[in-house]
Amino acid sequence: MYQWTVNPTSITVTLPSAPSDPRGEIVLKFTTGSTAPTITWPSTLKWANGEELSVEASTTYEFSIGYDMMGGWTIIGYGFSAAVNTIDFYFGVDDDPQHAEDGMTWREWVNTEYNTHKLEINGNHVVIGEAILTYNGVPVNPDDTIIADNWDGTGIHTSSYGFEE
């Protein structure tokens, strides 16, 4: 998979004339910046329904381009989604930053790849083992929205999140 975040105003995509493996497939994934770039696709690339995709700003795209010995390179699947803003928060002083999507609740977060500490929902609490996650000393409800921590610029951060036994 070729993956990149783009900020230039124009991009030209080129494909090999034929892959060494006749079952060749290329997967491209990219996220556009605040301004959508102009993309020039190879003239030999065949699009579903003959309609080339219109690329928009702040959007993630993923393409599968397959090679058919009779028909050449063809888009065999593509999808897109709005780019996601992430926030950082911490579980304690000088802990590694944790990440969440802006607006995500704890209930949503525990079932994602962001949950590297393996927190769980236990009734009305977010827990790790027997310890309950708190925010400013108050237990966090699983339906609460995750709040980003402030960074004071000193190289040390303090967190409003913590754990209580």
21 vs 108: CA distance, rounded Å: 41
Angle at alpha carbon of residue 103, lines to 94 and 112, rounded to 5°? 70
Residues 75 and 101 in one domain: no
3-class DSSP state of 17: coil
Tracing tokens 């497939």 back to the chain, one arrives at 25
pLDDT per residue over 27-69, tens digit each?
Answer: 777 777 777 888 888 888 887 667 787 788 777 777 778 877 6
Please report the pLDDT score of residue 93 as a whole number.
Answer: 47
155 vs 54: CA distance, rounded Å: 42
How many domains does the chain divide into? Answer: 2
Domain's final residue, options 23, 50, 82: 82
Domain's final residue, options 82, 106, 122: 82
Q: What band does 77 get if pLDDT is binned at 50, 70 and 90? A: low
Question: What domain range is 122 assigned to?
Answer: 86-164
Residues 11 and 70 in one domain: yes
Residues 75 and 90 in one domain: no
14 vs 138: CA distance, rounded Å: 55
142 pLDDT exceeds 90? yes
